[in-house]
Amino acid sequence: MKVRKLKKFVLPTIYTIAITSVFVSIVLIGKTLNSYVKEDINSYVVNALLDEEATPVMNLTNDKVVKPFTAQDVVISKNFYENEADEETQQKSLIYYENTYMQNSGVLYTAENPYDIVAVLDGKVAEIKEDEILGNVLVIEHNSDLKTTYQSISDIKVKVGDEVKQGDIIATSGENKLNDANKNCLLFEVYNKGQLINPEKFYEMDLKALSE
């Protein structure tokens, strides 16, 4: 059998074709992977935007705070308990109930006659419940950080999910077991980022600074 020798240019040509094929394959694989990565990134961005739209953050829409009542005869029965206050002031901010002294977490307002309770800021009613000691409790969220609670109220005029405007009448003063001397009460609390704020100071605060 006669053996034929390959010409000198054949092997280099085969090598060149093989290298070119490998290079083209790598380029094609790279483009394919890149398109997948772009699709994943785009999908992630779209999903992130959708998530943000699904859970919007409310912004404060008012310039200042109003008090949770408009009646002129409302007085402070118990002040907010502050750790920085002097001993005498702290003692006046304690609530005595069933042989136990408790630090007042809000301001207890009372009056001789029933009075309307109003929303101090625009917001959304987040919760309404009944407490054995505090009576009816209503919570309004004003943004993701700020909420106010209206306790010991009666004749509630809103429901969970309702949007309320500053000054809207949301209830009437009521009674609780912490103050037997008067049935026309409101225990008002303010929470910002989970921390209690003295309501009497809250009325004078810069809302823009508070939301930062």
How far apart CA 115 and CA 146 sit, in angstroms, is 25
How far apart CA 80 and CA 107 sit, in angstroms, is 5
Decide: 139 and 147 in contact? Cβ < 8 Å. yes
Residue 93 lies in a domain: yes
Per-residue pLDDT band for 140 (boundaries 50, 70, 90) equals very high
Domain that holds residue 32: 1-56
Considering the domain architecture, whether residues 23 and 83 belong to the same structural domain is answered as: no
Residue 181 lies in a domain: yes
What's the pLDDT at 181?
66
E strand or H helix at 138: strand 135-141
pLDDT in tens, 102-132: 899 999 999 999 999 999 999 999 999 999 9
Judged against a pLDDT cut of 80, whether residue 34 lies above it is answered with no
90: nearest Cα among 100, 99, 98, 81: 81
How far apart CA 22 and CA 20 sit, in angstroms, is 5
What's the pLDDT at 45?
36
Give percent of the chain with pLDDT exceeding 90.
Answer: 53
Residue 175 lies in a domain: yes
Considering the domain architecture, whether residues 88 and 192 belong to the same structural domain is answered as: yes
What's the pLDDT at 79?
94
Decide: 157 and 204 in contact? Cβ < 8 Å. no
Judged against a pLDDT cut of 70, whether residue 25 lies above it is answered with no
pTM (two decimals): 0.72
Residue 38 to residues 26, 41, 70, Cα–Cα distance (Å): 18, 5, 58
Per-residue pLDDT band for 74 (boundaries 50, 70, 90) equals very high
Total residues found in the chain within this entry:
212
Residue 13 lies in a domain: yes
Per-residue pLDDT band for 55 (boundaries 50, 70, 90) equals very low
Judged against a pLDDT cut of 90, whether residue 174 lies above it is answered with yes
Judged against a pLDDT cut of 70, whether residue 190 lies above it is answered with yes
Residue 65 lies in a domain: no
Considering the domain architecture, whether residues 95 and 189 belong to the same structural domain is answered as: yes
Tell me the pLDDT of the chain averaged across its residues.
79
Considering the domain architecture, whether residues 202 and 125 belong to the same structural domain is answered as: yes
- Higher per-residue pLDDT: 41 or 145: 145
Q: How many domains does the chain have?
A: 2
Mean pLDDT (whole number) for 171-181: 85
- Higher per-residue pLDDT: 136 or 88: 136
Considering the domain architecture, whether residues 50 and 11 belong to the same structural domain is answered as: yes
What's the pLDDT at 35?
47
Considering the domain architecture, whether residues 163 and 205 belong to the same structural domain is answered as: yes
Residue 204 lies in a domain: yes
Token pair in block for residue 171: 């209830």
Number of H helices and number of E strands within the chain? 4, 12
What's the pLDDT at 179?
72
Token pair in block for residue 93: 């901010």
Residue 156 lies in a domain: yes
Considering the domain architecture, whether residues 17 and 101 belong to the same structural domain is answered as: no
148: nearest Cα among 91, 55, 210: 210
